Structure 1
Amino acid sequence: MRCAEKDHDVVPAYHSQRVPGGVQLDVRRRDEVRDVIRAVRPDGIIHTAYKQDDWATTALGAVNVALEADGARVVFVSTDAVFGHRGTPYDEDELPCPITPYGAAKAAAETAIRAIVPGAVIARTSLIIGSDGLSEEEQRVRRLAAGEPGAFYTENIRCPVHVTDLASALLELLASDVNGITHVAGPEALSRLELGRLIAIRDGFDPDLLPAVPGEPSDIRLDSRQTQSVLKTHVRPATEFLAGRTVG
């Protein structure tokens, strides 16, 4: 765990799937948030909880954490989905323009957190990829390579980030004096198909087995250069962190 590696005492929170050493928490309930924060008394909070089809979890849950933070440093993990399709990258100074309910919920959470906790960090990121095959994109590669229905979109473009790079960057931001909007995404824009093919090659699958369709155009790129300039963490491009076979 990245926090442990950096000598932080960590108390993970979970909703339904138990985590060793963690505390159960429903962020939709402000009383539970208050009780947990009073019991743990954290110096910092990295808030990642979301559910794409649930406004209460994604938006109100984040508001509850901000309202009950009790002086703790807050880093809120947001998303590129606060923006809509555009052919040029978005930088940290641009206002949200979501086109999906999930993006709208995250944008609402960003706005509320900045008003409630002015010193908070809003860390927008993109597709998160691991090295253990458990991320959504990695699992999709396995399913489609096995012949299950579905396809990768060639017109859906994002800036993938490796989970360890993201975790290190979030810890850096937590300990820093940075506040406001940050972008923590990979420096390389790829289509879902290009990303899927890289994952397939890494994992020993034939990338030509992955079906592809254009899909609805959705080009959402985060320009993370401003944030990267203040970070020691090197946020790698997908072609770098997916090089080589790490999952059988």
Structure 2
Amino acid sequence: MNLLVVGASGFLGAEVCRQAVEAGHRVVGTYHSAAVAVPGVAPRRLDVTDRAAVRALLTGVRPDAVVATPYRYGDWTVTADGAAHIACAAAEVGARLVHLSSDALHGGRPTPYLDDDVPTPVNAYGAAKAAAETAVRAVDPGALLVRTSLIVGEGSKQIQLCRDALAGRAVLFTDEARCPVHVSDLAAAVLELVPTDLAGPLNVAGPEAVSRAEMGLLVARRLGLDAGGLRTTTTAELGRRHPGEVRLDSSRAAGLLRTRLRGITEVLV
């Protein structure tokens, strides 16, 4: 397969590239500032906000499939407009598109979210992710929208945030629940989904829901750190507009995939 990974210098994009190369695929990976550091990947610099540049790259590469992972927190043009540009170009060259979305487009509720639950964003980032999905579905109804959660693993921002909170340099929310997924599980699942004809939103996240504070305790146990200094708070106390309890029901994906989506307890303990 001739695979294009947009956002190959990111945490998930790099793992998708690594596994794709290992599986024998020809991989082109894009980056914006940080270079692609995966052996066997042909790097291409790309600004996804430049529609002409996106079109030129895909026209030149002619990929069989595109895995789109780029985002920049707080930047609408990258998260929403960039997704639309990629979708338009992928449709033009006839490439299969797997777009990585996020549980951040939900506002939070006590019951789990199903695959096709409509977005209910409560902040700008969630709105951008919802807009990205709308654009992708409008351009390419056959595209797959993988809704995932916090991505963990060695070197992840989520684990570093926990370490910072344990050291007193950051705080973790007790009222924000998510379903973390390990980066290697998510990348394997994405590559397994590429050759399918699945379309629309699909939840692909871990089976266990934990608060960020609970994840901090799991990280402390895994790394042998003192959890006594863990700093916690609530979104209300800080006046933040963040999604609250967002539990993704990934049972459909679990039934379709050979890849097993491990829970956070198994991953970190």
TM-score, length of structure 2 as denominator length: 0.86
1:48 alignment partner, one of 69, 73, 76: 69
1:10 alignment partner, one of 27, 44, 47: 27
Structure 1, 203-212 or 74-83: larger mean CA deviation = 203-212
| Structure 2: tracts of 5 or more residues without a match | 1-17, 237-242
**Higher normalized helix content (fraction of residues):** 2
Question: How far does residue 38 in structure 1 lie from its aligned partner after superposition?
Answer: 1.5
SS in 2 for 1:110: helix
Contact kept in structure 2, 1:137 and 1:196, CA below 8 Å = no
Deviations 1:58-99 (A, max 9, x none): 000000001111110000000001110211111012111111
Contact kept in structure 1, 2:102 and 2:148, CA below 8 Å = yes
Deviations 1:143-186 (A, max 9, x none): 223332x3211111000000000000110111212111100011
1:219 alignment partner, one of 208, 229, 245: 245
SS in 1 for 2:194: helix
Provide the C-alpha distance between the structure 1 equivalents of 2:26 and 2:224, rounded to a whole number of angstroms: 38
Deviations 1:199-218 (A, max 9, x none): 12212212222122233371
Q: What is the identity, as a one-letter code, of the residue corresponding to 2:19?
A: R
Provide the C-alpha distance between the structure 1 equivalents of 2:103 and 2:167, rounded to a whole number of angstroms: 30
Alignment of 1:203-218 (within 5 A): 203-216=223-236, 218=244
Provide the C-alpha distance between the structure 2 equivalents of 1:138 and 1:237, rounded to a whole number of angstroms: 15
Contact kept in structure 2, 1:165 and 1:235, CA below 8 Å = yes
Q: What is the identity, as a one-letter code, of the residue corresponding to 1:14?
A: Y
Aligned to 2:3: none
Provide the C-alpha distance between the structure 2 equivalents of 1:195 and 1:62, rounded to a whole number of angstroms: 30
Q: What is the identity, as a one-letter code, of the residue corresponding to 2:266?
A: E
Contact kept in structure 1, 2:168 and 2:231, CA below 8 Å = no
Aligned to 1:95: 118
Aligned to 1:157: 177
SS in 2 for 1:113: helix
Provide the C-alpha distance between the structure 1 equivalents of 2:167 and 2:184, rounded to a whole number of angstroms: 28
1:172 alignment partner, one of 192, 195, 218: 192
State the Cα RMSD in Å: 1.3
Question: How far does residue 142 in structure 1 lie from its aligned partner after superposition?
Answer: 2.2
Aligned to 1:197: 217
SS in 2 for 1:86: coil
Provide the C-alpha distance between the structure 2 equivalents of 1:192 and 1:86, rounded to a whole number of angstroms: 16
SS in 2 for 1:197: helix
| Structure 1: tracts of 5 or more residues without a match | 244-248
Aligned to 2:167: 146
1:115 alignment partner, one of 111, 118, 138: 138
The count of corresponding residues between Structure 1 and Structure 2 is: 240
Q: What is the identity, as a one-letter code, of the residue corresponding to 1:203?
A: L
Aligned to 2:254: 228
1:184 alignment partner, one of 199, 204, 221: 204
- What percentage of residue pairs aligned between the two structures are identical? 47
Deviations 1:3-45 (A, max 9, x none): 1222211111000111143100000001110111122111110
Q: What is the identity, as a one-letter code, of the residue corresponding to 2:108?
A: H
Contact kept in structure 2, 1:83 and 1:99, CA below 8 Å = yes
Contact kept in structure 2, 1:186 and 1:236, CA below 8 Å = yes
SS in 2 for 1:218: coil
Provide the C-alpha distance between the structure 2 equivalents of 1:31 and 1:214, rounded to a whole number of angstroms: 43
Provide the C-alpha distance between the structure 2 equivalents of 1:199 and 1:153, rounded to a whole number of angstroms: 15
SS in 2 for 1:13: strand
Provide the C-alpha distance between the structure 2 equivalents of 1:151 and 1:6, rounded to a whole number of angstroms: 40
